[in-house]
Amino acid sequence: MSQPDSFAAFQSKNPDAAFHDWLRESAEPFWTRATAHRFTEELAEGTLDPQACARYLVQDYAFVDSFVSLLGYAVAYAPAMPEKRPFAGFLAAVTSEENDYFLRSFRALGVPDTEWREPELAPVTAELLSILQDSGRSGSYPLVLATLLAAEWSYLTWGLACGARRPREFWMAEWIDLHAVPEFQQFVTWLRDETSRVGAASPPDVQQQMCRTFRHMMQLEERFFDHAYTPETGT
């Protein structure tokens, strides 16, 4: 499917569409592959191999460290307190409840402390961290929004797709809960609206940068799930 080359072109054919609709459509087919991945389906069904889950969580915990820093940049770059407050609240949640989940899961899955404290980064993880770090240091609020939205909106999408399914093992069930609870949905909805507000008002070159970053993030999100089954190795 050909992708609209600009938000203006997309909106001319879809007058009621928001900026985030253009980002999502421009990220196909990676958006669909990442949000309906084998990993998330097996997670919901409770059939996910524990080794695959452990491999994924170790890499995701490495991702969280840079993600927390990006949230800090979002607080700094947000124009006023009404925009800063949602980021600050989400930052507190990630560094408390979510961090506790990781530590309990590592113990339950038998992951050695050295493995999660000093992980060997997969190439896809290193690429994701590079995008987070570049976005954070860019000084660009629009770019930070696009990066955060790709990560969080995609996770909300698969989290909600799990419906009421919850495996017996907490390290699967609670990972779904973290990405499907009303509080997370409320934050992502706000983030999506804020990205659309800022993106629609941005110059075309900034819109293109946001679009490229969102699409690249979704390519990497698909690979990140793939790594749980077929580990990527460095060159």
Is the residue at 187 inside a domain? Answer: yes
Is the residue at 234 inside a domain? Answer: no
Cβ neighbour number for residue 136 with a 10 Å cutoff: 22
Question: Per-residue confidence of the chain (235 residues) as pLDDT tens digits?
Answer: 455 589 999 999 999 999 999 999 999 999 999 999 999 999 999 999 999 999 999 999 999 989 999 999 999 999 999 999 999 999 999 988 899 999 999 999 999 999 999 999 999 999 999 999 999 999 999 999 999 999 999 999 999 999 999 999 999 999 999 999 999 999 999 999 999 999 999 999 999 999 999 999 999 999 999 999 998 876 4
Cβ neighbours of residue 99 under 8 Å, at least 6 residues apart? 64
**Number of structural domains the chain divides into:** 1
Is the residue at 46 inside a domain? Answer: yes
Distance CA 18, CA 15 (A): 9
Is the residue at 181 inside a domain? Answer: yes
> For helices 204-229 and 123-137, what crossing angle results, to 10°?
150
- CATH of residue 61: 1.20.910.10
Structural domain of 191: 30-228
pTM listed for this prediction? 0.95
Residue for token pair 């969080």: 152
Is the residue at 71 inside a domain? Answer: yes
- Distance from chain centroid for Cα 233: 22
Is the residue at 202 inside a domain? Answer: yes
